[in-house]
Structure 1
Amino acid sequence: MVRQSPIRLHSFPAFYSCYLLKSVKPVKAQRSPPTYIGSTPNPPKRIRQHNGEISQGAWKTSRDRPWVMQMIVYGFPSKPAALQFEWAWQHPYKSRHLRDSSGKPLFKAAGQTLNRRVLVAKTMVTAHPYNMWPLQVKFFTSESKKAWDKATVSRPLPAGLTLAEEYEGVDGSSGFPGSGRVGPIDVTDGQFSVQHMQKSSSIRTILRDSKCTICSKPVENFHSEPLKVAVCPSGDCLAVSHLSCLAADFLSSDSSRSAGLLPRGGNCKSCRSYILWGDVIRGCYRRHQGGRAPQLEESDREEDDIEAEANSDDLEEDPIPIVPVLPVPAKAPRSRVVKGETIKRPRGRPPKNNPSSKVATKRAPAVTKSDSGGEKFDVRGFTDLDDSESEVERRPSKPTPARQRK
């Protein structure tokens, strides 16, 4: 049986982002408004879930509604990459990528304020390996943009990183003027896909004998091997090159600012514009899939949280396996044997004639109705002992009878 290459099986998602929420629910003066970090392929739908307009919202955001999406970081080449970024954004003090030259963490704690969250995000896009990904940033509020401008980082922002201000909001209903967009943001990647397929058709009809802009040799496998041929993603440029030639040219140039096996980007030999390596690869997969961008479905938040930690490269090489927490089974009732018969001791409260004996009891968790109509258990109201008891008092033992005199 011949196995297909994992490169061919891979699919570049149409859209995947990590987002930052801030609650606009009135809070006490001494308390900062809560924030929340998550990841999703569909931010307009996800904010509705967080605000309870539709089902499958995260339980962590059910108490401090309504929420406003402040900013997103998008352009991830895969869902696991977005989950790794999300985990590090939530736990910057644990991430091995957010450390100084001596190996000490850049952040001692996560921090829950908006300014702290934005500072961590700005630091991350300048750190390896995130600075090699084709990431972009959108701001949906002036507050998040001011926090970004105020944040000071030690490394410069990577080349090709764009910062967009769209104050009309992620769904276009904030009421504030922004970039002129009407409606929610586009998560289908339709504009890029259509433009790239039009370029492919133009190259097929106009430039029948395409030559590599780097080595000047004919590109013979343009149609049969789209994953080996690069097309410039900038504007109307029709430059074509071998993917290996383009990677070597970007790595050798000073503009790549990278010392790894793959570049961040470089200047096109034809139009001279700076292009991201991730956008080049995205175009290859769009042509390989016939212009169709795969749409990723939204999954449950708790499953995403587990997957983010399970797939995060910030964990150790042999992480502790994630095991679901199961309820502790009840102990079997004690028994005693009397004349060959087994008699089970009754369970429950102690008899009334022995008030000094007390048994630890468990308080039932509070049950509320969730947005989807199901039950939600508040485990914080669950305790192993009564409030009045710090430990289990044992039943007093019977006094030992005096020994008989011989």
Structure 2
Amino acid sequence: MTIQPKPIPALYTVYILRSTVRHASLYIGSTPHPPRRLSQHNGVSKGGAVRTSRGNLRPWEMVGLVSGFPSMVAALKFEWALTNPHLSMHIPSSSRLTVPRGTKSNGRPRRPAKSMGSILSNLHLLVRVLSFERWPLKLHFFAPDVLAAWKRWCATTNEALRQSLPVLTSFADDGPSLATKAAISGDSASASVGAEGGQGDAEQAAPWGIYALPLDYEPIKEYVAKAQAVFEFEREGDCVVCRETIDAGRGLHAVCSNKDCEGVGHVTCWSRHLLSASGSGETGILPIHGECPKCHGEVQWGDMMKELTLRLRGGKEVEKLLKTKRRRVTKAKAKAVDTS
């Protein structure tokens, strides 16, 4: 069986789930669709994990998550490491913060009990280890007390995070939005309305938390359209780094992500330029961010690679994203046209 390559997903997350009834009950999982997954954990729709199916612990809430994974497999690796920090080979033995609690009857190490503090401290560790430190990850917190616990740990440890790692927050100002209430109570119809912004309830609060996350490629639609135009009409020109002519249809080429810039370059050239321009003596082939040599605007390596893989591997996704929505003509308007 041939495995078809896929583009970098629009969204794939590793999340922290907490029981609203018993805050000490925690669960770590991964999903490309947090609202739907929360609905499953709360028994609103089919699915969910056995460990979250106990009625006396429901409803659950997602209090934080990590996004920006380049694939489902990447997210699953991170999820396993965060769930098993006492065993993960991604964490050097000398850096472990969590140790096994004895052994099971089969001789395997016993998993330590989780606490919010242990999860956040190991999360801080994982985004700094060699396996994950250069991925285009983002941290999201949806509960003020969890954010406060994260800040306490960051102030306690001497190990600093890279400055380019975004830490984003989204809290409810006036209580849960309609979408959140619906996901907890079981009203899946209202949940879908709330997740899309909500139009039927005059008092509907703006989506927040997991309901404000973009679940598709819409945020980079203009970028994708620009890149499509550049390559379809062979406007690649010369590489913005090495200045050599780019052969249309041959090789891997990335496009500047800034709105009014069509700077194109070889992927290897972009990588070398961004690494050398960082001023930190970085080596390797995986940069994080830097400046476009053509427009001098800031570019994110992760965004450029998402567009590149979407262009090369996501034909259906691109077609769906750029497809012009046909305006629906109501019967009343059609009748008015016929009688005019």
Establish whether TM, by shorter chain, passes 0.5: yes
Q: 1:155 to 1:218 in 2, by over 3 A?
A: farther
1:12 aligns with 2:8: yes
Q: 1:14 to 1:119 in 2, by over 3 A?
A: same
Partner in structure 2 of residue 40 of structure 1:
31
Q: Identify the match of residue 264 of structure 1 among 267, 288, 292.
A: 288
Contact kept in structure 1, 2:62 and 2:210, CA below 8 Å: no
Superposed, 1:2-401 pairs within 5 Å as 9-25=5-21, 27=22, 33-63=24-54, 64-99=57-92, 103=94, 105-108=96-99, 110-152=112-154, 153-168=157-172, 173=180, 183-192=211-220, 194-203=221-230, 208=235, 210-221=237-248, 224-225=249-250, 228-255=252-279, 258-288=282-312, 289-290=314-315, 292=317
Aligned-partner Cα distance in 2 for 1:262–1:128: 12
Q: 1:181 to 1:49 in 2, by over 3 A?
A: closer
Structure whose alpha-carbon radius of gyration is higher: 1
Q: 1:106 to 1:183 in 2, by over 3 A?
A: closer
Q: Secondary structure at the match of 1:281?
A: helix
1:209 to partner: Cα distance? 5.6
Between Structure 1 and Structure 2, how many residues are aligned? Answer: 280
Structure 2 counterpart of 1:114, one-letter code: M
1:98 to partner: Cα distance? 2.4
Moved more, 13-22 or 90-99: 90-99
Aligned-partner Cα distance in 2 for 1:266–1:282: 16
TM-score when scaled to structure 2?
A: 0.71
What per-residue deviation string (whole Å, max 9, x for no partner) do you get for residues 69-91 of structure 1? 00110111111111100001011
Q: 1:73 to 1:180 in 2, by over 3 A?
A: closer
Structure 1 counterpart of 2:242, one-letter code: C
Aligned-partner Cα distance in 1 for 2:292–2:115: 41
Cα RMSD, aligned residues only: 3.4
1:210 to partner: Cα distance? 2.0
Moved more, 112-121 or 177-186: 177-186
Q: Secondary structure at the match of 2:133?
A: helix
List structure 1 segments (4+ residues) > 6 angstroms apart after TM superposition: 174-182
Aligned-partner Cα distance in 1 for 2:232–2:83: 50
1:66 to partner: Cα distance? 1.0
Structure 1 counterpart of 2:139, one-letter code: V
Question: Structure 2: which 5+ runs fail to align?
Answer: 101-111, 182-202, 321-340
Aligned-partner Cα distance in 1 for 2:208–2:32: 23
Contact kept in structure 1, 2:31 and 2:37, CA below 8 Å: yes
Contact kept in structure 2, 1:250 and 1:256, CA below 8 Å: no
1:159 to partner: Cα distance? 4.5
What per-residue deviation string (whole Å, max 9, x for no partner) do you get for residues 13-53 of structure 1? 2221100011111x5xxxx6211100011110000100111
Q: 1:213 to 1:45 in 2, by over 3 A?
A: same
What per-residue deviation string (whole Å, max 9, x for no partner) do you get for residues 208-243 of structure 1? 36221111222232xx24x60111224443221111
Q: 1:55 to 1:77 in 2, by over 3 A?
A: same
Q: Secondary structure at the match of 2:151?
A: helix
1:272 to partner: Cα distance? 3.5
Structure 1 counterpart of 2:215, one-letter code: V
What per-residue deviation string (whole Å, max 9, x for no partner) do you get for residues 116-149 of structure 1? 2122112211221211111112211112211221
1:200 to partner: Cα distance? 1.8
1:154 to partner: Cα distance? 3.9
Q: Percent identity?
A: 29
Partner in structure 1 of residue 196 of structure 2:
none
Contact kept in structure 1, 2:171 and 2:209, CA below 8 Å: no
What per-residue deviation string (whole Å, max 9, x for no partner) do you get for residues 163-203 of structure 1? 221114799536997887895522112221x1222212553
Q: Secondary structure at the match of 2:10?
A: coil
Aligned-partner Cα distance in 2 for 1:51–1:95: 29
Structure 2 counterpart of 1:237, one-letter code: C
Aligned-partner Cα distance in 1 for 2:137–2:266: 24
Structure 1 counterpart of 2:150, one-letter code: W
Contact kept in structure 1, 2:179 and 2:207, CA below 8 Å: no
Q: 1:195 to 1:33 in 2, by over 3 A?
A: same
Higher helix share: 2
Question: Structure 1: which 5+ runs fail to align?
Answer: 296-406
Aligned-partner Cα distance in 1 for 2:130–2:264: 29
